[in-house]
Amino acid sequence: MEAIILLGPPGSGKGTVAEDLKDALHFEHISTGDMLRNAIRLEKPVGLEAKSYMEKGELVPDEVIVKLVEDLLQSGDPSTRYMFDGFPRTVRQAEMLDQALLPFGSNVRYAFLLEVDRAILVRRICGRRVCRNCGAVYNVHNRMPKVEGVCDQCGEKAIYQRPDDSEETLNNRLEVYNAQTASLIDYYQEKGTLVRIDAEDREATEQTILDHLSPA
Ligand code: AMP
């Protein structure tokens, strides 16, 4: 088992980068946000538990997330390589991940920190549109589906704006990131696995990650 982490505020491009790179690097893209949104859609208990936190832009309690990820790791193939996006978000989650990787003789290989100016984050997030069915991501500024409202990837007419992508909820999510998630920067810095990336340009960001992960 192998794990790398994409760290950074909402809108820093974690999901896009993970989707773009997962096949070339043979990683499974794990977004805890997507897992929770699916659980809500399917009316699973964990979704019901998470929903009110997500609507407010607050973090879902650690116990819920830890259980979700532990179940995933335990049911997965031990040779899987995971690219985590939006997890961990607290030191407690990071510690749990380290513990869960121990039996596999593994640890977090890199934590890539995607850094982007706040004004760009706001523009990206408020312009983001998502397919409710398959999770494909679009943006009103530069990446819209070929047919309005219809997902290029799955063909469903299911493009919507995530309720937590509104400007007011986003402000809270950015505060929550600074208050609760930014401490992970020190956590991974101390472990020597942090890689800071100026993530304004997607292609340059992806190239930096490829340079670190591709065999020489
Ligand atoms: P995301 O799709 O990563 O932006 O996550 C959307 C929302 O899901 C967040 O604002 C949180 O409410 C919740 N969430 C996703 N991942 C986590 C996590 N690792 N810890 C706590 N809450 C999470």
Express each pLDDT in 68-115 by its tens digit. 999 999 898 989 999 999 999 999 999 999 999 998 899 999 999 999
Establish whether 89 is a catalytic residue: yes
pTM for this entry: 0.94
Output the CA 173–ligand 1 centroid distance in Å. Answer: 9
Q: Is the pLDDT of residue 30 over 90?
A: yes
Is 96 a member of any domain? yes
Average pLDDT, the chain: 95
Is 38 a member of any domain? yes
For residue 176, the domain's CATH number is: 3.40.50.300
- Measuring CA to CA, how many Å separate 35 from each of 65, 144, 169? 10, 24, 20
Q: What is the pLDDT of residue 215?
A: 72
Q: Is the pLDDT of residue 146 over 70?
A: yes
Q: What is the pLDDT of residue 76?
A: 87
Q: Is the pLDDT of residue 58 over 90?
A: yes
- Please name which of 127, 37, 123, 34 lies closest in space to residue 85, comparing C-alpha atoms: 34
Q: What is the pLDDT of residue 66?
A: 95
State if residue 32 touches ligand 1 by the CB under 6 angstroms criterion.
yes
Is 113 a member of any domain? yes
Is 178 a member of any domain? yes
State if residue 135 touches ligand 1 by the CB under 6 angstroms criterion.
no
Q: Is the pLDDT of residue 216 over 70?
A: no
Is 140 a member of any domain? no
Which residue segment(s) compose the domain that 181 sits in?
2-117+168-213
Query: What does the block give as tokens for 180?
Result: 């609760």
Is 129 a member of any domain? no
Q: Is the pLDDT of residue 214 over 90?
A: no
Least trusted range by pLDDT, from 36-40, 75-79, 112-116, 174-178: 75-79
Strand 159-160 relative to strand 128-131, pairing: antiparallel
Q: Which tens digit of pLDDT belongs to each residue from 125-144?
A: 999 999 999 989 999 999 99
Q: Is the pLDDT of residue 45 over 90?
A: yes
Q: What residues contact 147, with CB distance under 8 A and at least 6 apart?
A: none
Contact predicate 122/19, CB 8 Å: no
Q: Is the pLDDT of residue 15 over 80?
A: yes
> How many structural domains compose the chain?
1
Is 172 a member of any domain? yes
Contact predicate 9/109, CB 8 Å: no
Establish whether 14 is a catalytic residue: yes
Is 29 a member of any domain? yes
Output the CA 133–ligand 1 centroid distance in Å. Answer: 18
User: Which residue matches tokens 């043979």?
Assistant: 26
State if residue 7 touches ligand 1 by the CB under 6 angstroms criterion.
no
From the CA of 34, give the closest atom in ligand 1: 2
Q: Is the pLDDT of residue 9 over 90?
A: yes
Establish whether 128 is a catalytic residue: yes
Q: Is the pLDDT of residue 183 over 90?
A: yes
What CA–CA distance (Å, rounded) separates 214 from 216?
6
